[in-house]
Amino acid sequence: MIIIMSPNATKTQVEDVEKKLVGLGFQTHPIFGEIKTVIGAIGDKRLLNTHDISFMPGVENIVPIMKPYKLAGKELKKDPTIVKVGNVEIGGKEIVIMAGPCAIENEETYIGTAIKVKESGAKILRGGAFKPRTSPYAFQGLEEDGLKIMAKAKEATGLALVTEVVDTRDVDLVATYADIIQIGARNMQNFKLLHEVGLTKKPILLKRGLAATIEEWLMAAEYIMAAGNQNIILCERGIRTYETATRNTIDMGAIPVVKEFSHLPIIVDPSHATGSWKYVNALSKGAIATGADGLIIEVHSDPNNALCDGPQSLKPSKFDQLVSELKPVAQSVGRTL
Amino acid sequence: MIIIMSPNATKTQVEDVEKKLVGLGFQTHPIFGEIKTVIGAIGDKRLLNTHDISFMPGVENIVPIMKPYKLAGKELKKDPTIVKVGNVEIGGKEIVIMAGPCAIENEETYIGTAIKVKESGAKILRGGAFKPRTSPYAFQGLEEDGLKIMAKAKEATGLALVTEVVDTRDVDLVATYADIIQIGARNMQNFKLLHEVGLTKKPILLKRGLAATIEEWLMAAEYIMAAGNQNIILCERGIRTYETATRNTIDMGAIPVVKEFSHLPIIVDPSHATGSWKYVNALSKGAIATGADGLIIEVHSDPNNALCDGPQSLKPSKFDQLVSELKPVAQSVGRTL
Amino acid sequence: MIIIMSPNATKTQVEDVEKKLVGLGFQTHPIFGEIKTVIGAIGDKRLLNTHDISFMPGVENIVPIMKPYKLAGKELKKDPTIVKVGNVEIGGKEIVIMAGPCAIENEETYIGTAIKVKESGAKILRGGAFKPRTSPYAFQGLEEDGLKIMAKAKEATGLALVTEVVDTRDVDLVATYADIIQIGARNMQNFKLLHEVGLTKKPILLKRGLAATIEEWLMAAEYIMAAGNQNIILCERGIRTYETATRNTIDMGAIPVVKEFSHLPIIVDPSHATGSWKYVNALSKGAIATGADGLIIEVHSDPNNALCDGPQSLKPSKFDQLVSELKPVAQSVGRTL
Amino acid sequence: MIIIMSPNATKTQVEDVEKKLVGLGFQTHPIFGEIKTVIGAIGDKRLLNTHDISFMPGVENIVPIMKPYKLAGKELKKDPTIVKVGNVEIGGKEIVIMAGPCAIENEETYIGTAIKVKESGAKILRGGAFKPRTSPYAFQGLEEDGLKIMAKAKEATGLALVTEVVDTRDVDLVATYADIIQIGARNMQNFKLLHEVGLTKKPILLKRGLAATIEEWLMAAEYIMAAGNQNIILCERGIRTYETATRNTIDMGAIPVVKEFSHLPIIVDPSHATGSWKYVNALSKGAIATGADGLIIEVHSDPNNALCDGPQSLKPSKFDQLVSELKPVAQSVGRTL
C-alpha cells in the first residue's frame, strides 16, 4: 500500500502517518519527492479495515498494491478451477452450453423445450422459478411449483439444472432442486445471500452485477468462497453503459481479464447482454473465440407467448443451428463442443 | 403504447399484431407511413406482462407511452407526500437533516456523536448496525447489539432513528428499533426485501441503486407501495459513471425530475455521493438550492478511527458549521431549517 | 414521428400541435387514450430542424420513428459496401488486417516493422504522423516527415497506408500520402473535418468516438457521405465506461448492430479498446468470430522504447502468432484470411 | 511515480527498471514487499513521454503521483484566476450570467433577445454562428453573417460576446468579433483547435467534453495555456451517463473538485446539461449554491420556432424570474449577483 501525502503536508503529519502504520504492524518506507512525500507500507491491508488512515491530516490518497481478493485470485491457487456438475466439467477443455427459457411457465412447454435443447447439445438446463422483475406487476415466477417442474424435466432429460435464488429464506429449498444455484445480476452484492449460498457447497453461477467492476465481481465470489464454497462459475451478462442499441453492453474484455487474475471459469450470457435474439448468434461465437468456457442462452419454444424476456429468446431451431455453428468456432481456438 | 413495425413488415404481420392486441383488450390505431407502419394501442399495458408482442414477426420496437409506475407517480396522487416521523415532517417546508456515523462502533462514541449532531440541528440520527461491505473481511456491523446502542442514543437525545436492513430475515428485528428503515443502494432491486419492508408500514428511506435509472428507482418504490406502505423517502446518493475524481457522480438533476414525476419526497446523501468529506459542504448547499427536501450526512467524532467510511465523514465541528451555513441557503429558496 | 402529449394537455394544445405539423407538410393521426393523447405525424422529419415542436405547450415527448441517417443506412442501399484500397477489399469475404506502430518515430524502425507485419499477413500499414495526445507535452508526431517515411515504407513493402488527420488544414497533405484517411475517436464529431475528408474521395477509416452511440457514429459517417464520399470503414475501438480493468470497454455488440442497420464495413481495434497487448490476442479472435470485417492492430518492433502507446503494442513475433491463430477462427465463420 | 512490479517479477527485472529510470534522470527507491516490489521514482514525469517503461518485463502497473497538468493546476499559481472581459470579472465575488439563444437566426430576434437578457441582468451575450450539429442536414449556423449580427447586438446593448469556433481556419475570424471564444464539448480534445485559440490571447470558454474526465478537461486547458493564453473559463455542461431522464447528467461535484485542483473559474450550463428548460431553474440555483462562478443559459424569445435546441431554451420572462430568484441564492453563499 502506498500513502500519497498532499503537497502541503507537514513533516509532523508524515511522521504521524508512519507512527500509525507502524502501530498497525506495517513497515514503512517514506520517499521524499520535491513536492510530495509518499509512504510505502508493507503488511496486511486487511488490518486496515478497522483503522483507516486515509482521513489523517495531510493524506491525499492511498493506492492499494495488492488485489483485495485472496481466494478468488491466483495468489493461493494458480491452476484453473474446474467446476464439476455430475459428469459435466465447466472450465475444462469442453465448452459447456446451458440453455432453456427465462421463466418456467408450465410443465408441458418447459419439458418440451428441455428435450429440444438437449438434442441440440445443451448440457445444463436453465429455468427461473423465482424471477426478479423490475415491476411488481410482472410475473414473478412459479416458485416451488416451478422447481418441481424443473425436477421433472431433469428426470425426462438427464440434464442438470441451474436456477436462481433471490431470498436468503429460499436457499435451502432451491438447493434441494438445483444442481447449480444462480445468483442474479441484481443480487451480486446481496452479501447475506452470497454468504448463505456459500454455506451450501452447491456450484454457484455468479452473474456480474448490472454495473459491477470486475474487481467487485471477484469480491462477490470471495464472499461465497470465504463461507466455504469454492465451486463458482462467473457469468458475464453485459454491463450498463450509455449505449441503448443493445439492452446492456457485453464486456468481452472481461474474459481475458478474469483469466489473468482469477482461476475461476467464466461463461457468457449473450441473451441478457444484448436483449435481442438477433444478436445472440454473433456474440455467442465471439464469446467462445475470446475464451469463454461456456454460454447460457435463453431458448423458448414459443417466444411470442413467453411470460418473460421473449424478445431475447431463441426458438429451438435457431438454437440448434447456433450450436452447430459454434462447433467449428470452438475447435478453431482449441476447445471442444 | 406504440408498436413500430419494421420497414419490410408485411400487411399480414401488421394485421397479426393488431389481432393480438385486440385479443388482449387493446384498441388499435394503425398509422401507415411511406416506409414504416406504427400501431397505437390503447389499454392497460400491465396486461402485456403475460403476452409480449415484441417478438412477433415484423415488430421493430415498442414505445411505452405511460410510465410503468402508478402509485409512485402523480397519476393517482398529485399533492406531495409528507412522511411523518414523530413530529418531524419530511417533504414539507422544512429541510430535514439526518446525520450520524456510517457504522455503530460502540456506545460511548455513538451517543457522543448523537448528542452533537442533535445540538447542531439534525432531526434524525443515522447509524449502521448491518453493513453491506464490498469485502467479506471488512467490519460487517454490530447487528442487534448495534440496534440496542441506537435505542440508547434515541433515549438520550430524542432523535428518531434511521438504519439499514439487508436481509429479509431481519426486517422484523430492525423494524422494532428503527423509526425509518433504510434500503441501501445495493439492495434497491432486492425485490423480496422491498416487499418485506412494504409490509411493515414504517417509513422507508429508499436509496437509489448504484447505476439505477430514475425510472427503476421509482419502480422500486412501487414495489414497497404495492405491498401497502406509502411512506417512502427517496435518497439520491450518486450514480456510477466513468469519472473517478469523486466516488460516485451526484445526479443533482434527479431532484427536479423526481419532483416532476413523483409525489414522494427526495433527500440527498452527499457523503456517499462524493466519498470525500471535502466536497460535502459544497454539495449539501447545492442539493438544498436545487430543491432537495433534506440531507443525510455522515458525521463521526473521530473519523480517523472510524471502522467504516472515515474519509467521507465530517467531524462534528464541521457539521455544525455546515448546518449554520445551510440555513441561509434554505431560506433563499423559500425553505426553513 | 410520434408526439406524446402530457396528461394535462388541453384540447386546444393538441389542435395547435396538429395545425403546426400540417403547416409543415405532415399528415397527422391523433390517438386519444384515456390519460394521454399521442399524435402520429407522417412526413419528412428533416423539415423539423427549422421548426421544432417539442417546446409547444402540452407536448411531453417526441419519438422518432425513422433513423436519422439515410446514406449510411440500408434504406437506399441494401447490399454491403465493399471498400477497395488497391487490390484489397474491405467488407468482402476476406478478413483484412491493418497493422503497424502507433506513431512513426524514425525510418529504420518503421520500415523494419512494416516489412515484418507484411510477412505476417497484414494488408494495410498503419502509422501516425499527426498524433492527438492528451498532454501538450507528449510527442505529437513527426507530421509531414512522418508521412514521407510512410511513403518509403509503402515503396519497400507495397502495403497501402492508413494514417490519421486531425486538422482541416492538413487534409490535402494527408490525402497525398494516405490510401486510407483515419478520423480518430476524438474527432468523430469534428464535423468540419468530416466534411473536408468527405470532399477527398479517399477511403475513410472512421473510428467510433470515446463515448459515441452507434447512431451518432453512423451520423458521423453520414456527414462524410453527404459531402460525396461513400468509401467508409467503421472502426470500433472501445467505449468509455466505469470499468477500469481495461482502458476502454470493447463494444462487441456494435458489430451485429452495425451490420443490421448499415451497409458499411466494420473493423475492430483491440489495441486501443483494451490498452494492453495482453488482451489483444483474445479480443482479435472474438472480433472476427463476432463478424468484424477486419482488425487494426498496433505492432512495434521495440514497444519498450515506443514514443507512444507502447503498452498496447504487440511485438512482431506475437503479431505473427496472432495472425496464424486467427486463420482458423476466420474459417470457422466462413471467412478467409 | 510509483512502479508496481508483478508478483513474479525477477530480481533482474526490478534492476532493469531501476537502471532505465536512473538513465532517464530519476532517483529510485525500491520497496520489497512479501509478494510484490514497488519502485518509487522521483523526477520529472514529462521525460517519460519519450521512453515509456510500462512495457518492460515484470512491470504490472504505474501509478502517477503528480497531476499531469502544471499551468492549470495550483502548483505554480495558488490564487484564483479572475478572467476579465471588459469590466466584467469572472471568478471574482460576483456571479456572472451569460445568456442568449443557441443559434443566431436573424438580426431582429437576436437583438430583441439580447436587449431582454441584458435588462434581466445578463452580463455576457451568447450566440452560435458556427453550430456543431449531430446531423449534416440540420441548420449549421449563419457563419460570418451571424458574427455580424452579434456585433450589432453588442453595439445595441454593450454586452460582451461569447461564441463558438469549430475550425482552426476560422479562429482569426471569430477572434475579431468575439470577446470570449467558446470551445464546445465536441472539440474539447481537438488539440489543434485548442492550440490555435491559445495563440489568440482572447478569454476562452472551455466546455467539458461529452464524456471527459475532470483531469482530461484540465489537460485541455493546459493545451491552451501552454500556447500562451491563461484566460480560461471552464464550463461544466453535463456528462454522458446511462441515465436518459435528462439529456446529460450534470456533474455538480466537478465544481468543488475543480476548485480544489485548479485556479481557473468554473461556470455551469444547465440548459445543455439537462436538455429541458423545465430543469434549468432548479439546477441554476444548485450550481450557484455549490460554488459555480457563473452560468450560461439559453434564452430564446420564441423557443417554439428556434432553429436549434428550442426545448432547452427559457423564454425571456422565465429567465427574468430566474435571475431574480438567483440573487438570494448567491447572497446565501457570500456572492453577489
DSSP labels for A112-130? HHHHHHHHHT-SEEE-BSS
**Which residue has cell 447572497?**
D331
What pLDDT is attached to residue A30? Answer: 87
Answer whether residue D337 shows pLDDT above 90: yes
Q: Of how many residues is chain D composed?
A: 337
Answer whether residue A251 shows pLDDT above 90: yes
Q: Give chain B positions within 8 Å (CB) of C209.
A: none
Q: Are A168 and B168 in contact (CB < 8 Å)?
A: yes
Cα–Cα distance between D90 and B268 in angstroms, integer? Answer: 29
Q: Out of D46, D49, D310, whose CB is closest to C52? A: D310
- Rounded to the nearest angstrom, the minimum Cα separation between B7 and chain D is 22
Same domain, yes or no: C123 and C244: yes
Q: Per the domain annotation, does D190 fall within a domain?
A: yes
Interface of A with B in 60-89 (CB under 8 A): 68
Q: Are D253 and B331 in contact (CB < 8 Å)?
A: no
Query: Which neighbouring-strand residues pair with B73?
Result: B262
Q: Residue A223 has what DSSP assignment?
A: H
Residue of D nearest to A35 (CA): D66
Three-state DSSP state, A86: coil
Q: Give chain A positions within 8 Å (CB) of D7.
A: 75
Q: Which helix (H) or strand (E) holds A60?
A: strand A59-63
Q: Give chain B positions within 8 Å (CB) of A210.
A: 209-211
Same domain, yes or no: A47 and A185: no
pLDDT confidence band for B83 (50 / 70 / 90)? very high
More confident residue, D52 or B89: B89
Same domain, yes or no: B45 and B158: no
Q: Give chain C positions within 8 Å (CB) of D310.
A: 52, 54-55
B136–chain A Cβ distance below 8 A for any pair = yes
pLDDT confidence band for D134 (50 / 70 / 90)? confident
What's chain B's average pLDDT?
92
Same domain, yes or no: A24 and A53: yes
- Tell me if A165 sits within 8 A of A174, measured CB to CB: yes
Q: Give chain A positions within 8 Å (CB) of C237.
A: none
- Rounded to the nearest angstrom, the minimum Cα separation between B304 and chain A is 5
Rounded to 5°, the CA angle A123-A129-A133 comes to: 115
C25–chain B Cβ distance below 8 A for any pair = no
Give residue A291's identity as a one-letter amino acid code. G
Q: How many domains does chain B have?
A: 2
* Residue of B21, B38, B75 to mutate, interface with C, max C Cβ within 10 Å: B38
CA proximity to C334, closest of D258, A329, A291, B12 = A329
Q: Give chain D positions within 8 Å (CB) of B285.
A: 289-291, 332-333
In this predicted model, what pLDDT tens digit does every residue of D14-42 receive, in sequence order?
A: 998 888 888 888 888 888 887 788 888 88
What pLDDT is attached to residue B305? Answer: 66
Burial class (CB in 10 A: 0-12, 13-18, 19+), A86: exposed
Same domain, yes or no: C201 and C307: yes
pLDDT confidence band for B49 (50 / 70 / 90)? very low
Q: Per the domain annotation, does B72 fall within a domain?
A: no
Answer whether residue A51 shows pLDDT above 60: no
Residue of C nearest to B248 (CA): C242
- Tell me if D284 sits within 8 A of D250, measured CB to CB: no
Interface of B with D in 152-171 (CB under 8 A): none
Q: Are A40 and D38 in contact (CB < 8 Å)?
A: yes
Range of weakest confidence among A303-312, B58-67, C133-142, C211-220: A303-312
What pLDDT is attached to residue C3? Answer: 86
What pLDDT is attached to residue A312? Answer: 80
> Which 3-state string (H, E, C) describes chain B?
CEEEECCCCCHHHHHHHHHHHHHCCCEEEEEECCCCEEEEEECCHHHHHHCCCCCCCCEEEEECCCCCCCCCECCCCCCCCCEEECCEEECCCECEEEEECCECCCHHHHHHHHHHHHHHCCCEEECECCCCCCCCCCCCCCCHHHHHHHHHHHHHHCCEEEEECCCHHHHHHHHHHCCEEEECHHHCCCHHHHHHHHCCCCCEEEECCCCCCHHHHHHHHHHHHHCCCCCEEEEECCECCCCCCCCCECECCHHHHHHHHECCCEEECHHHHHCCHHHHHHHHHHHHHHCCCEEEEEECCCHHHCCCCHHHCECHHHHHHHHHHHHHHHHHCCCEC
Q: Residue D102 has what DSSP assignment?
A: S
Same domain, yes or no: D175 and D267: yes
What pLDDT is attached to residue D25? Answer: 82
Q: Per the domain annotation, does B208 fall within a domain?
A: yes
Answer whether residue D317 shows pLDDT above 90: yes
Q: Per the domain annotation, does B29 fall within a domain?
A: yes
Q: Out of A253, A256, A290, whose CB is closest to C249? A: A253
What pLDDT is attached to residue C334? Answer: 98
B54–chain C Cβ distance below 8 A for any pair = no
Cα–Cα distance between D149 and D155 in angstroms, integer? Answer: 10
Same domain, yes or no: A31 and A149: no
Q: Give chain B positions within 8 Å (CB) of C66.
A: 35-36
C-alpha cell at position C225: 457521405
Interface of B with D in 227-246 (CB under 8 A): 238-239, 241-246
* Residue of C170, C189, C196, C246 to mutate, interface with D, max D Cβ within 10 Å: C189
**CATH number of domain containing C31:** 3.30.70.1140
More confident residue, A140 or A317: A317
Q: Per the domain annotation, does B231 fall within a domain?
A: yes
What's chain D's average pLDDT?
92
B329–chain D Cβ distance below 8 A for any pair = yes
C-alpha cell at position A132: 426478479
Same domain, yes or no: B115 and B251: yes
Q: Are D29 and A29 in contact (CB < 8 Å)?
A: yes
CA proximity to B193, closest of B222, B161, B219, B171 = B171
Range of weakest confidence among A126-135, A184-193, B156-165, D242-251: A126-135
Through-space distance between the first and last CA atoms of chain C, rounded to whole angstroms: 44
- Mean per-residue pLDDT, A161-170: 97
Domain boundary among A63, A95, A111: A63
Kindly give, in sequence order, each residue whose CB lies less than 8 Å from that of residue C271, ignoring residues fewer than 6 positions away. Answer: C277, C280, C296, C297, C298, C309, C312, C313, C314
Query: Which neighbouring-strand residues pair with C160?
Result: C124
Cα–Cα distance between C140 and C148 in angstroms, integer? Answer: 16
Q: What are phi and psi of A99, to 5 degrees?
A: -155, 165
Q: What are phi and psi of C210, to 5 degrees?
A: -50, -35
Instruction: Print the domain residue range for B53.
Output: 2-63
Same domain, yes or no: A94 and A172: yes
Same domain, yes or no: D204 and D293: yes
Q: Are B40 and C36 in contact (CB < 8 Å)?
A: no
Answer whether residue B211 shows pLDDT above 60: yes
Q: Per the domain annotation, does A143 fall within a domain?
A: yes
What pLDDT is attached to residue D51? Answer: 47
Same domain, yes or no: C58 and C131: no
In this predicted model, what pLDDT tens digit does every residue of D241-296 receive, in sequence order?
A: 999 999 999 999 999 999 999 999 999 999 999 988 899 999 999 999 999 999 99
- Rounded to the nearest angstrom, the minimum Cα separation between C291 and chain A is 7
Cα–Cα distance between A27 and D294 in angstroms, integer? Answer: 48
Q: Are C52 and D136 in contact (CB < 8 Å)?
A: no
Q: What are phi and psi of C250, to 5 degrees?
A: -70, 130
**CATH number of domain containing B165:** 3.20.20.70
Interface of C with A in 241-270 (CB under 8 A): 241-246, 249-257, 259-260
Q: Are B33 and C65 in contact (CB < 8 Å)?
A: yes
Percent of chain D residues topping a pLDDT of 70: 94
Domain boundary among B63, B95, B113: B63
Q: Are C65 and B241 in contact (CB < 8 Å)?
A: no
Tell me the count of A-C CB pairs closer than 8 A.
135
CA proximity to B273, closest of B299, B246, B293, B294 = B246
Same domain, yes or no: C102 and C42: no
pLDDT confidence band for D50 (50 / 70 / 90)? very low
Residue of A nearest to B217 (CA): A134
Q: Per the domain annotation, does B218 fall within a domain?
A: yes
What pLDDT is attached to residue C43? Answer: 77
Residue of C nearest to A246 (CA): C253
What pLDDT is attached to residue D62? Answer: 81
What's chain A's average pLDDT?
92
- Tell me if C226 sits within 8 A of C199, measured CB to CB: no
Answer whether residue C307 shows pLDDT above 70: no
Answer whether residue B51 shows pLDDT above 50: no
- Rounded to the nearest angstrom, the minimum Cα separation between D134 and chain C is 7
Q: Out of B242, B244, B290, whose CB is closest to D286? A: B290
- Mean per-residue pLDDT, C14-39: 86
In this predicted model, what pLDDT tens digit does every residue of C37-50 receive, in sequence order?
A: 888 888 766 555 44
Q: Per the domain annotation, does D73 fall within a domain?
A: no
Answer whether residue D117 shows pLDDT above 90: yes
Q: Are D333 and B283 in contact (CB < 8 Å)?
A: no
C-alpha cell at position A220: 462477490
C133–chain D Cβ distance below 8 A for any pair = yes
What pLDDT is attached to residue C62? Answer: 81
